[in-house]
Structure 1
Amino acid sequence: MRKQLFLFGSKLCPDCGPAKEYLERKGVKFRYFDITEDLGYLKFLLKYRDERAEFAQLKKEGKIGIPCLMIGDGEEFIFDVKEADLSKWS
């Protein structure tokens, strides 16, 4: 069974809109969570951000870590949608 794909972003983030549009143009099936519209989404992302090594460099640079693709239940995080192999979700 194919794992779900989630995109965390914000309408306030200049990189998130283009990332979302890119996925939509490619026909990728994903769920979008705007972390500035729902505190629950922000808390969910921050839990992973605080615990996962993939976010370490972003935190050092003072970044939040969005846009962020999450595969499944957090098995993998991707920060550049254009570098991801999205063939399973289109």
Structure 2
Amino acid sequence: MRAEIFGADICPDCVALKDWLARHPGNWTWAEITADTATLKRFLALRDTDPAFAPVRQGHTIGIPCYLFADGTVLLDGEQARAKLQG
């Protein structure tokens, strides 16, 4: 399933994910939140409103990597997201 993946090259989890993605090509795009203000704003709008981010907001963390699927599903759990990407 198509997905947009929000992350940052300065995040160790995102770096590891990008390595995995390079070995598992698929129907996804990488959205680097530190690349430009527009991408950061799109991510922050999602993070500030989507229920999947409630623990992130409570914990005052960033919430990346974040997987936004074409069906509107937002996943922060890497294992679940990778299974959905491959399925």
| Category of TM-score, reference length = shorter chain | 0.7 to 0.9
Q: Given the two structures, how large is their TM-score scaled by the length of structure 2?
A: 0.85
Which of 79, 84, 87 aligns to 1:82? It is 79
Q: Distance in 2 between matches of 1:69 and 1:7?
A: 5
Contact 1:8–1:33, Cα closer than 8 Å, also in 2: yes
Residue equivalent to 2:53: 55
Q: CA deviation at 1:38?
A: 1.1
Which of 32, 35, 55 aligns to 2:33? It is 35
Structure with more helix by fraction = 2
Residue equivalent to 1:18: 16
Q: Distance in 2 between matches of 1:12 and 1:49?
A: 18
Q: Which runs of 4+ in 1 moved over 4 A?
A: none
What letter is aligned with 1:87?
Q
Q: CA deviation at 1:27?
A: 2.4
CA RMSD, 1 decimal: 1.6
Q: Distance in 1 between matches of 2:65 and 2:43?
A: 11
Q: Distance in 2 between matches of 1:34 and 1:26?
A: 19
The percent of aligned pairs where both chains have the same amino acid is 33
**DSSP-derived class of the 1:8 partner:** strand
Q: Given the two structures, how large is their TM-score scaled by the length of structure 1?
A: 0.82
Q: Distance in 1 between matches of 2:50 and 2:22?
A: 27
* Unmatched 5+ stretches in structure 1: none
Q: CA deviation at 1:66?
A: 0.6
Contact 2:2–2:69, Cα closer than 8 Å, also in 1: yes
